[in-house]
Structure 1
């Protein structure tokens, strides 16, 4: 067992024994290392942010509120098949998607998840900036290598929106909506954005980087300029309604997102996309609404009627013609400044 493994095994035992103390001698015998080595591992855990209570007479104990945002805590006992089995955590990155693409090109395994405490160059769809302050949100990217042709990738984007919506509803009790293709909203305000970037050849996908940003712990007044009235966070939304989150903490939310992503990704790769689309429709705030569609220099209004198996939006124009929308930006009547 390597040093890092021993350190986290010590952490695991301290968690299992809580609220009891465990002596350095007992840990020493358990791992066949010196008490000095035990002390060094405990010191390293404290440096990561864990709160330890120590007594020369009775040993070590992990404090009850010692829960930190780290790769170990995110991945520990996650119970997923592929996604999140390995997590790399950074206090700060320019962009989790940039880092994920770099290591994907170097051969990183499927399901590897990159998480950052903050991003200096976070971005969303259509080249927009994604504001990513430290402690204010959940910023992650996942490397996927699906057995899909490039035209099938949109199904993963839709599935990711379903996974985030499930996680938010399961953890907070708040039911969000999904705006086509993958914005997750709370009463018309954006709480989560998803960016899918693909490396492919003519007929096969080499890898996908699935980036997700969730506004978690930000005050409403922090959303300035064009974001005012268009964005919110889970904590701000709950506070406006005098609601208490069922389980607080970005860690629980992030773990739930990874668990739900693992479930929907399994469905996508096992030809069960129809189940994902049915659930997407249940969360949809787009279907049945009049929408304004902006695609390049083209802008027009239509009614959103359905989505295709591969995720295109089916709209009926005012002249009765049906169009399939593959990409672009839509606004829903009554929301996002479109009235």
Structure 2
């Protein structure tokens, strides 16, 4: 029903045509119109003219996303729910059941969103992009961390292009604007021996989150595209653009390896050349962030020499 109304844009669509194309009764049409209105759509009904879509709420449901998709596989199979505990958990379940590569879980709100190291990810309703993508890359388990860096590059390139904001990458999985976090990327995998069985790539972006929705403890370290850009953004358009860029960068990674990703990551990183402290298992290490190793490890120039950092919290 919604797809038909979207086809006509501002024009009326007769009940007769809707009935014919959907093979349903006038009573069923009216029932579906009522359901759409409950979702926030404003639909004008005029005798002898039919129905016309007047207003569309900002939703990330499949019927809103699919008209904008330009991908071959990413997002073509989709699970959507208004509210879920975590898209990561649902994507893991789907992947175990055999979900194809590119399958997407997306929601309007998470009640138990996950960040790195099991931190809570704040996911207010109808204001962000909260999604998880199933990947099945033919790579060794040891190379799986490179996928986080690959996704960071793809999302950064998209957000810079679509918003005009100076988005930078903070190793290993954060995107920043003005030093504050606007996006987190979480990569989780299931492997067998030396091969990856599947990867769940979670992406959380504060899009139209307002200061009122940011907890007090996050005000100094987190922001949103709307706060920084001074305007709201259409989430379905952003999601479609991200999936297109991510698919292209991912395919390039599979074809050409990590080296092109490493170069692009270093160009987009906002922390290189700066003094940082890395909290490593061996204790804190302080030095200058100088680049990425071929493995994806962060290279830290210290008084003891240049050290690779594989897993760490970073303070700039």
TM-score tier, shorter chain, comes to: over 0.9
Worse overlay, 44-53 or 78-87: 44-53
Which of residues 278, 284, 288 is equivalent to 2:263? Answer: 278
RMSD: 2.0
- Asked if 1:331 corresponds to 2:315, the answer is yes
Q: Is the 8 A contact 1:137 1:213 kept in 2?
A: yes
Q: Rate the CA distance shift 1:92–1:33 in 2: closer, same or farther, 3 A.
A: closer
Residue 72 of structure 1: aligned partner = 63
Q: Is the 8 A contact 1:155 1:268 kept in 2?
A: no
Q: Rate the CA distance shift 1:330–1:202 in 2: closer, same or farther, 3 A.
A: same
Q: Is the 8 A contact 2:289 2:298 kept in 1?
A: yes
Q: Rate the CA distance shift 1:66–1:219 in 2: closer, same or farther, 3 A.
A: closer
Equivalence map 1:105-144=2 (5 Å) = 105-144=96-135
Q: CA–CA distance in 1 between the matches of 2:58 and 2:42?
A: 8
Q: CA–CA distance in 2 between the matches of 1:72 and 1:206?
A: 30
Superposed displacement of residue 37, structure 1 = 4.0
- Asked if 1:27 corresponds to 2:18, the answer is yes
- Asked if 1:193 corresponds to 2:184, the answer is yes
Q: Rate the CA distance shift 1:115–1:291 in 2: closer, same or farther, 3 A.
A: same
Q: Is the 8 A contact 1:24 1:39 kept in 2?
A: no
Q: Is the 8 A contact 1:145 1:208 kept in 2?
A: yes
- Asked if 1:169 corresponds to 2:191, the answer is no
Secondary structure, aligned partner of 2:279 = strand
- Asked if 1:294 corresponds to 2:276, the answer is no
Q: CA–CA distance in 1 between the matches of 2:258 and 2:72?
A: 18
Which of residues 203, 216, 220 is equivalent to 2:211? Answer: 220
Superposed displacement of residue 309, structure 1 = 2.5
- Asked if 1:54 corresponds to 2:45, the answer is yes
Q: Is the 8 A contact 1:75 1:86 kept in 2?
A: no
- Asked if 1:183 corresponds to 2:174, the answer is yes
Superposed displacement of residue 189, structure 1 = 0.7
Q: CA–CA distance in 1 between the matches of 2:69 and 2:25?
A: 31
Secondary structure, aligned partner of 2:244 = helix
Point out the structure with the larger strand share: 2
Secondary structure, aligned partner of 2:264 = helix
Q: CA–CA distance in 2 between the matches of 1:230 and 1:72?
A: 34
The TM-score normalised by the length of structure 2 is 0.92
Superposed displacement of residue 214, structure 1 = 0.9
Secondary structure, aligned partner of 2:222 = coil
Q: Rate the CA distance shift 1:49–1:226 in 2: closer, same or farther, 3 A.
A: closer
Q: CA–CA distance in 2 between the matches of 1:225 and 1:64?
A: 33
1:240-298 CA-partner distances (Å, limit 9, x unpaired) = xxxx46xx222222222222211211112222433222221111012221110101351
Q: Is the 8 A contact 1:21 1:59 kept in 2?
A: yes
Q: Rate the CA distance shift 1:318–1:259 in 2: closer, same or farther, 3 A.
A: same
Residue 15 of structure 1: aligned partner = 6
Superposed displacement of residue 133, structure 1 = 1.6
Q: CA–CA distance in 2 between the matches of 1:212 and 1:40?
A: 35
Secondary structure, aligned partner of 1:315 = strand
Superposed displacement of residue 323, structure 1 = 1.2
1:70-101 CA-partner distances (Å, limit 9, x unpaired) = 12212334011221112222111111101111
Which of residues 81, 84, 93 is equivalent to 1:90? Answer: 81
Unmatched segments (≥5 aa) in structure 1: 1-9, 333-339
